[in-house]
Structure 1
Amino acid sequence: MRVTQSMLAGNMLRNLSSSYENMGTYQDQLATGKKITRASQDPVVAMKGMNYRSQLSGVEQYKRNISEVHNWMDSSDSSMNEATQAMQRVRELTVQASNGTYEGEQLANIAKEIRQLKEHVGSIANTKVNDKYIFNGTNTTAAPVNMDNAAFTINQSASPVMIEVSDGVRIQTNVNAGNVFNEDLFNDLESFANALESGTDLDEFLGKFDGHINNIVNERADLGARMNRVELIEDRLATQEVSASKLVSDNEDADIEKVIMDLKTQETIHRAALGAGSRIIQPTLMDFLR
């Protein structure tokens, strides 16, 4: 086959174009720090990257969910601690009033404090976090305790709040308010205040209030167990996030040292190609006519 001048020039241009493309690829890797900038450059890397990033996004979402879980649980625990303190004060007043040394006016003053504590417990039951009632299950827009009347109507039809914190793992984040802020609690407080004012027997109330305090303590214990489980899940998610981030990095990040060496090598090759090309296109008709 006869090699013509045009064939030499065409090969030179194709080789130079390929050299420019290689240098452009290395420069993109240096600028972005990534192996590829388009899926067409390496479909396998692109597909793996999508899977790894999806896994990482899932872990990050679960971590955001756990932050919401902590918000609910910490607020619930703090509120129940306040409720416990209020009921312990009720118990102290019950013991004082039952010793038989207080007169009518003194008992009436205790009754006033009992009703204030009743109001306080009701306000605790209506605690809001981020404009959500945390003791009313999934119905977070309605107050669980109606404080507009003496009966303190309790909404006990609330469903538990379940938040997914890991693949297939959903955990209850709220407290069953019916076990803590139930109608019996408010009725017993009101009955005790009435008994103080009327001077009737007070012996039965100490046992009732001890029962309500135990209900709060038991519910806090259950909440504490769930909080401990959430911390274990949070630690596992942190480990999974590190692993997923490493997979993404290993799959997508360019080896900068290697890229620099490849670019320098390609620049040398490109200069050699330009030198060879200059020798190919140098002879012209004018060179022979001189």
Structure 2
Amino acid sequence: MAIVSTSTSAFYERARANMKDLRAQAESLQTQLGSGQKLSRSSDDPVAASRMRTLARLESLSTIDETNANRANADLSLADAAMSNMSNTIMRAQELATQAASTTLTDEQRAGIATELEQIHDDLYTLANSRDSTGHALFGGNNTGNAYELDASGNASYIGSDSSVDLPIGDGQSVTRSMTGKQIFNFTDANGNDTDVMATIKTLAAALAGGSSDPTGAANDALASLKTGLDTLTTSHTVVGTRLAWLDVVSERRTTLTELRSTEEADLGGTDIASTVAQLQQTLTVLEASQASFSKLSNLSLFNNLR
């Protein structure tokens, strides 16, 4: 009797265990189809899970780099627009200086030119104090306030730092988000003196307004300085354009790497729908057959044959 009891118990235990495993397998396959992921825990595939964690970290770092690159792009775009306006403004100052260099002008005409030059100086001052995407000084380096301030005489002086902020954009690379006011405006004139475009325009305006006994000579001197100042600005403008082009290259590369990571993540942890559906159907069929077989076998009895 004990043998019969033990055999019957073992039969039921094996059948229950087999059907439990089949149900668990079916539920796992259904979960994979619902979530789109075939790895529910690291133990399912430790190697693949480790690589998935690495890819996730790389994606997080890429998101940070993209944020920095977007800020750099915004600031450099603002700098590019401001510097284009500066170039146009300085070229207008050159035109006025050319007119003022003529000996046929009257004092009243030179005074009118001086008034416009004062306005140009104010425009450049405003552009020099442009704000970046976070509301800080665009051309002030690391300063958060203005890049330039006016003294009691109305002369503009640089109060920013000597360098701009470098922003990391991935793979150990960084890009400087703007240029400083000194890099844009400062130059050495023909006499070897350090000066800047705004000071040149301010001095010429004062000379044409009656502050010089030789306004024509002052205009000619200013023309040479304005040319040098415009060349300095153009060089800085070119640097900004180069940085913007480099950011485009880096952005394209980041997009490509993101796509490659997404593909690898899908291959490692993504569910193969067709294969998983086929496995699920097979598992459910085996489970159904096992349940049917167990039901029939459990109803069999030796006494049914003793008649």
The two structures have a TM-score, normalised by structure 1, of: 0.92
Matched, 1:82 2:85: yes
Q: Give 1:99's aligned amino acid.
A: S
| Residue of structure 2 aligned with 1:28, choices 20, 26, 31 | 31
CA contact (8 A) 2:114 2:204 kept: yes
CA contact (8 A) 1:126 1:135 kept: yes
Q: CA deviation at 1:204?
A: 1.1
Which residue of 2 is the match for residue 184 of structure 1? 196
CA distance in 1, matches of 2:228, 2:162: 23
1:37-86: CA deviation from partner (whole Å, max 9, x where unpaired): 22233322221111122223333332332221211111111111100101
Which residue of 2 is the match for residue 169 of structure 1? 173
Q: CA deviation at 1:286?
A: 10
CA distance in 2, matches of 1:132, 1:28: 51
Which residue of 2 is the match for residue 278 of structure 1? 295
Which residue of 1 is the match for residue 192 of structure 2? none
CA distance in 2, matches of 1:250, 1:169: 30
Correspondence list, 1:185-200, <5 A = 185-198=197-210, 199-200=212-213
Which residue of 2 is the match for residue 103 of structure 1? 106
CA contact (8 A) 1:60 1:241 kept: no
Q: CA deviation at 1:87?
A: 0.5
CA gap 1:123/1:18 in 2 versus in 1, 3 angstroms? same
Alignment gaps of 5+ in structure 1 = none
CA contact (8 A) 1:165 1:171 kept: yes
CA distance in 2, matches of 1:33, 1:15: 27
What RMSD over aligned residues (CA atoms) do the two structures have, in Å? 2.4
Residues paired across the two proteins, number? 289
CA contact (8 A) 1:125 1:181 kept: no
Which residue of 2 is the match for residue 208 of structure 1? 225
- The secondary structure found in structure 1 opposite 2:254 is helix
| Residue of structure 1 aligned with 2:239, choices 222, 225, 230 | 222
CA contact (8 A) 1:8 1:280 kept: no
Runs of 4 or more above 4 Å deviation: 283-288
Greater relative CO, 1 or 2 (CA 8 Å, sep 6+): 1
Matched, 1:231 2:234: no
Q: CA deviation at 1:173?
A: 2.0
Which residue of 1 is the match for residue 189 of structure 2? none
Which residue of 1 is the match for residue 116 of structure 2? 113
CA contact (8 A) 2:150 2:157 kept: yes
Alignment gaps of 5+ in structure 2 = 187-194
CA distance in 2, matches of 1:200, 1:82: 33
